[in-house]
Amino acid sequence: MDKRKGTLFFKNKPSIFKTFSIVGPKEKQSKLGKYYDMALDDDKFDESTYEKAECKMLSTAVSKVIKKSNLKKDEIDLIISGDLLNQIISANFMARDFDVPFLGVYSACSTITESLILGASFINSNNFNNVVCAAGSHYATAERQYRYPLELGAIRPPQSQWTATGAGAYLLKPFIKGYPIITSATIGKVVDFGVLDANNMGAAMAPAAASTLKNHFLATNTTPKDYDLILTGDLGALGSRLVKHLMDKSGYDIFNHVDSGELIYNLDEEDFQGGSGAGCGTVVMASYIYPKLLNGEFKRVLFSATGALLSTVSSQQGESIPGISHAVCLECNL
């Protein structure tokens, strides 16, 4: 088998020009709270429903990143976006506001890296000049779609995670000196080790993350040492231990691994294993890691967002939870 299968190398160096992130009140109070571009005090964002709020968050992120880049809406060639809701309504309805060509993608919580891979490919092929990649999630909408009503007095099991309320957008451009570039990417495979517990998404996604990281190291001839940071999407504390274990078994010591889900909240009783959701990795990357790439603190970061590809129907029918993880390698040479 070709060991470079699924790995892309972007010779024309698509750059991430600007990012924008917006988070909910709970994320604002956490230790990363001060880094986000915008934080809401009201998680309904002055809308009548949470679904509308999620859509508005995505659309705010996209319009603000366009504004930040000193561009106008009609200069944007393509928006690629996705979210967690059925029929990705937040992303689709967000695109309604823009009158810009739009690709809706779904890859659960790894939606952002899937969008970045697609966006980088379009820029790399010289087809487009300005591409916006965005993803978001909302605690209240995810909770209602996947679990129970918010006011139901039920206990969360200790292995569960907390869906992050947040949306982030990245504006991709052809090579610009001094900005982080996407040099390579690995498209993940759907991996299912047979985890049945829908509350334990870290365990369901860890094998996918391990598989993608391994494939990326093989294809690019690198080892974890070559990266300043390996950032996964939303494995949480338990999932992080599992991915370390799996990588150890394959002979890679990922000592520089950090998980967005662990970073996004001050881990306490209520959030248990940490954050999850399409917005989780998106905002941590956009507002915490990206600036560190920009100021030279990190030279090379591997960002592998992870997604659990379950639905309520599949879980109720007794299906196990497949996971997927797409990785992008970001580099910044000042």
Partner 1 sequence: MTGKNNQNYNEEYLNYVKEIAPKTKHLKTLWHAFWVGGVICLIGQFIRYSFMYWFNLYGDQLAGATSMVLIFLASFLTGIGVYDRIGKYAGGGSIVPITGFANSIVSPAMEFKSEGYIYGLAAKMFVIAGPIIVFGVIGSVCTGLIYYILNLFSLI
- Closest contact distance (angstroms) between CB of 191 and partner 1 is 6
Residue indicated by tokens 């990795």: 281
* Contact call for residue 191 and partner 1 (CB under 8 A): yes
- CB closer to partner 1, 141 vs 184: 141
Are 165 and 43 a contacting pair, CB within 8 Å?
yes
| Among 73, 144, 292, 299, interactor with partner 1 by CB under 8 A | 144
Residue 24 backbone zone (phi > 0: left; psi -120 to 50: alpha; other: beta)? beta
Is residue 157 at the binding interface for partner 1, with CB under 8 A as the rule?
yes
**Whose CA is closest to 107, among 332, 324, 267, 329?**
324
Structure tokens of 166? 């947040």
The structure tokens 């679990």 sit at 147
Q: Which is nearer to partner 1, 182 or 243 (CB)?
A: 243
Phi, psi angle pair for 182, to nearest 5°: -95, 110
Q: How many residues bind partner 1, per CB under 8 A?
A: 38
For residue 311, the minimal CB distance to partner 1 (Å) is: 14
Q: Decide whether 70 or 317 has the Cβ nearer to partner 1.
A: 317
Contact 216, 175 (CB under 8 A): no
| Contact with partner 1 (CB under 8 A) among 183, 200, 212, 325 | 200
Least distance CB 26 / partner 1 (angstroms): 15
319 binds partner 1 (CB under 8 A): yes
- Cα–Cα distance between 77 and 234 in angstroms, integer? 30
Quick one: which of 192, 218, 83 has its CA closest to 137? 83
129, 159, 222, 311: which one contacts partner 1 (CB under 8 A)? 159
List of residues contacting partner 1 (CB under 8 A): 48-51, 144, 148-159, 191-196, 200, 203, 207, 238, 241-242, 245-246, 270, 272, 318-322
